Chain A
Amino acid sequence: MRFKKIQTSTQLTKRIIITILTILLIASCALAFAGLTSIHKIDQAGFESSDVYLQVRKLKIEADTFYDDHIAQSLKACSSQEQADATATAKRLLEESWQDSEALNDYDEVSLWKLLAMTYSASPVKKITPAQRRSIKLVKDKDAMRAALLKALANHTAASDDPILKDIEALKNAPESMMALVFLSSWSSNASILDKTTSINFIRSAGSTEAAVVAYKAAMSGNISALAATIMAHSHTVTLISVLVAIDSLLLFIFMAAGKSWKMDFKWILILLIVDFLLIFQLLPLIYLLFKAFFPNGSFTFNTFTRLYTEKMNFTALSNTVIAATCTMILGTIIAFPLAWLIGRTNMYGKKFFRALFVLTYMVPPYVGAMAWLRLLNKNVGTINLIIRALFHLKITEGPFNIYSLPGMIWVLTTFYFPYAFITISRAMEKMDPSLEEASRASGASPFMTVMKITLPMMTPSLIAGALLVFVSAASCYGIPSIIGSPGNVHTVTTRIIEYYGLGVSGINDATGLAVFLIVIAVIVLYISDVVIAKRQYITVSGKSTSPVIVDLRSWRVPMTLFVSLFAIIAVAIPFSTILITSFKVDVGQTLWTTGNFTTKQWNALLRGETLSTIKNSLIFGTLAATIGIVIAITMSYLLQRTTIRGRKIPDFLITLGSGTPSVVIALGLIMTMRGQFGVNIYNTAYILIVAYLIKYLMMGQRTVVSAMSQIHVSLEECSQISGASWLKTMFKITGPLIFPSIAAGWFLIFIPSFYELSMTTLLYSTNTKTIGFQLYQYWTFTSQPQACAMAFGILMIIVILNVLLNYLTDGKFSI
């Protein structure tokens, strides 16, 4: 008996929900269609903005009142013949204004006067100057003046012929249009016919005279209802929301059908929210940009692309980018793997120290490192070059190394981006089942053979994942190519994009066209990594908590440590110390030891209130971005790893897309779509910054969490569910703690670049949302190099301190 009841109630719930969802789906599709039609209509009519019908309605209402209260009275004071004649004149004036004679034949007298009032009120051209206003003010009997004006208009007489009018300065030699203007504006104190704000708003929405005319006609014909006007006014928003609702209801249906449970589960809501977020902030700007690139004048054209990509300089830039990114990827991985192995699996000295050290280069903005290398390896007076010349008694004045070259750029890119690979590989290495390597040793293989035949092949998925991260990041980097590449005429796609933006509006489409290349690369890379890695993903987390076997390097211990130290010095210590030293200099050209060249002025400047407030801003924005990002990452990982819903890879795809897009393009896309056209206006707020950071940096955190979750067996979570815990509780109490180190690492991977982010911030910030990256940029471009260096080092210290602090507070659990 009891079972039956439950069945029927679930059946009922199921039917109710399906009905609701279907209704929502249909309704939203209808609305979306309505919205799209409105957009099309508005475009066709040439309107500036979509609220034109709302505005013209308002204008019309005022015109109605205006006519009833004022014009009607004045007209009554004339004879009917005069009325007709004056109206005829009004019609002619309208024709002049509208430059259209046909359409006015259908309107009656009342409508014509209303139209005239609206047209002149909203016309940006017809204005009464203050001087003229004064002369009109002097007239005592306004009614008489108006009657006289109407007469003049009716009889086509000049103002000078009329006793009342001839004294008015403004009407001296004035054409009839002026007389009409004076007539109409005679009732108001500030010489505007209808309400000034309404008029201004209307002309803004309509834009051109032609568009305004279309609007007037629509208003007079009266077939735009208030509802339609509202939908039209917000057509973009309506379309956006209805598309979202449609997608949401469809998704909800899919989720529930797949899970066969028709109750509202919190996790579906969360996933839907995230999908919506990604759709609005990630996809919409991108689609908008692409749309404008493919449809510059409303019709589809491949022209932009063919033109762009065949231009020699762009083509060279493309190949440079691909070459640079590939080499960086290979070099970075080749470096990262042995380092990760030596630090994670052997008994070399100072492992913890080196592990922390190699992560440091990730914690400063890329161009800071670029500046340091520039100082060291420029072919004229680079410090390292000078030393080498002295050491080997070379008589050259240039070189031997020239950093302004493709190899130079690759080198700096590698030193900056190899930590991505290093971190990914290290973490995977820690998780690998040590008995796999032990079995190899027991089979007679030396440690080296074991690495080559066992460790390396098994780590391939993580190697590839790390390598591809490096590739995508290096390809979309701007700071390093602009400082290292440009002076040597080595151009990349990112620098070319910035050069196109230098053209302003006409460059936007070209810039987008080039950006498409990078986006496509990111997509291909994602596809490759998914297909290749998925095939060979091995669940390698062992149940036991044995620590990996430490390979005893014996006689190699010291040499290996030296080798790692050497690399650490070259890649980390030298550039960082250059920055540090420069930060204390007064004159960059002198050495630190020259008298008077040492100063703490730059460091003192950092303690100013202004800097502290930017630090506060950066901390807040970075924390928000990282925290929201990690929540998204966890939810998306769950979707990817624990459900079998089709299309669950799509959010992941969108997220990777964001990282592959150059920062400037993201910022521009946001500017063009987030100022209210689609109902969302977060321009000049902190939110747009946080959104920008999320779009750009979410991928790093996402990949970390996904790979961690993939190594936890689902039975652990199923056990929690059986015990009665909800999805949320399971996430908090079981999964979360298990993958906490990865969550922490992912958090930092989002936090750090958001903290010092620069390119997007310069375009999106507002007076209250200045960040530390922006201040660094200011110092660098407008103050001095030493000041910028001090700031950069300060940023580094803040991040390191934060890391140490969190590490300490959570007993070593929360750190990169």
Chain B
Amino acid sequence: MIDPIILFFLLGAVAGLLRSELRLPAAVYDFISIVLLLSIGLKGGIELARQPFVTLLPQMLAVVALGFLLSLVAFPTLRYLGRFNRADSASIAAHYGSVSVGTYAVAVAYLGSREIAFEEHMPLLLVLMEVPAIIMGIILARGLSRETRWKSIGHEVFLGKSVVLLLGGLLIGWLAGPDGLSSIEPFFFDLFKGFLALFLLEMGLITATQIGSLRKHGIFLVAFGIVMPLFSGLVGTGLGWALGLSIGGTMVLATLAASASYIAAPAAMRISVPEANPTLSLAASLGITFPFNVLIGIPIYYTMAVWAHTALAGG
């Protein structure tokens, strides 16, 4: 049975492709994404209140390394196989090393409706994975030159909307704990899937607008938008297994690795590497990778996680 939230995504995509008048006001989209980011942060924060921070340190370091690594794999692929210029390759690589909160939310909903447990502190890993690839993308485009204005870049990267809201939610959840949050639970947790459905409707509309620019940029970008997340998903699965995560947790980490950013990375790259063409990275991450992950990728990553846990653990 297909999850209804996926149907909202398809509704948006079809309406967009048919050039329907349907449009969510930008303020509504902003509001919904703020609610989603805070909900995800709060959920993770509650879990942090339950377990000692130090035990999570190896996982935290590993996902930061993963973010750097994925952008370092994507860059030469784009530069030498795809023949993109340096700035474009670096920018797209930053998008693919960073993560998509929307994809994460769909993966969580997928596990939720199948009642599969996963490590609840995943939002902490999510926020840690947002930043490294963006920094790597800027270095790949610019080199480590003295002219780079690291102060303003740091401001853009660490104080962007998604990092602030996720970290803020984590902190509030951590400080307040499960009991403290019970008063706001109906809004942030019970309505989560409703907000996610509206968010995906808008994502469908935005995805549809990217299809046109994909036609211009050709087959390589389409192939990259599918093969790169599959590769990253495989790496994420291996890492999740090695870190001793549950099947659900391994699948979430694989999804995080496979997802491509479309909130934090575009804004940061637009400011820091202005000569990179934003249509290329958005067409790939939104026009191809987001729908691929949401519709096909997530079940594949789940299968990978199950496979890793049965094959590698010997049953």
A binds B: no
**B residues touching A (Cβ–Cβ < 8 Å)?**
none
**A residues touching B (Cβ–Cβ < 8 Å)?**
none
